[in-house]
Every structure is written in C-alpha cells, then in structure tokens.
Amino acid sequence: MKKELYKTELQINTILFNISIFITFIAMLMMLIEFFTRGAFPSTKIGTFYIGVLLIYSLHKEALRWISEKEWAQNKRKGEYFVYAWFILTPLLYLINFLTKDYFVYNDQGVLLNALPEITVTSLEVGGVFIVTRILKLIFGIRHSKNTPSS
C-alpha cells in the first residue's frame, strides 16, 4: 500500500515539477520582455501565482520525502535549478542596467519602471521557498535519525 501511494505521489510530483518548469519559463520570459521593452508591456503580475506554484511543488516534494526517505534518495535536488536560474538572471539584469546607466529602469518619459524590483522580489521569494524546504529537510532528517536505531 505504501509503495503504491509513493508511486502515485511520485507521478503527481513529476507533473508538478513539469508545471513549475513551464511557469518558470513563462514568468522569466514575461519579466524579461517587460524589462527589455522598458514599459512597452504592462507589469506581469505573475509573481504571487508563480511563487504559489513553486511552494505547492516544494511542499509536495517534502511530503514525498516523508513518505519514503529510501526511495526518495535517488530523486532529489531538481528544485534547486529554479533558485540557480533566478539567482543568475537577477544579477545579470542589474549588471545590464548598471552598464547602460539605468536605461532599463526608466521609460522614455523618465518614469521609474517596476520590472527590476519585481524580478528581484520574485528571485528572493524563490530563494525563500528553497530555504523553507531546506529547513523542513533538516527537521525531517533530525526526526528521522532519532527514530532510526544506532548501529
């Protein structure tokens, strides 16, 4: 029964991961378009939805770990790629903006744009989801090691 439950939940987690990849791509694409067009497109407003999807995927992934640590050992660390992607993209955009002397944070009329701050917040939120799941992993690891007999 536990094996069947794990198999079903693993399939769900794979689907959630693929959805997360798709939404990450869409969110990054929209935010990059907003950034590079300097206000020609409206604010993406996708941040809350995107972080919610990542949180659902991450919490489900941790639940899988709790169901079966043994089987999970071979299927881990995929979620870190979201953090790496955002933590590489964000400073690159800051560098581009710096080298262009704030060209991408103001539109042609001199109005301050929100793209870079929104990308920054999204990046930090992705990092926050990662930290929360790492903390859960540590808590579970401590709890799991207390329940495992010593050799």
Q: What is the pLDDT of residue 88?
A: 97
The Cα–Cα gap between 75 and 123 comes to 24
Tell me the DSSP string of 59-106. HHHHHHHHH-HHHHTTS--TTHHHHHHHHHHHHHHHHHHHHTTSTTTB
139 φψ region: left (φ > 0), alpha (ψ -120 to 50), beta (else): alpha
Q: What is the pLDDT of residue 71?
A: 53
Q: What is the pLDDT of residue 140?
A: 72
Tokens 């590489």 -> residue: 88
Q: What is the pLDDT of residue 151?
A: 45
Sequential pLDDT tens for the chain (151 residues):
677 877 888 899 999 999 999 999 999 999 999 999 998 999 999 999 999 999 999 999 888 877 765 555 555 567 788 899 999 999 999 999 999 999 999 999 999 999 999 999 999 999 999 999 888 878 876 655 555 554 4
Entry pTM: 0.83
Tokens of 117: 């701050």
The Cα–Cα gap between 46 and 72 comes to 31
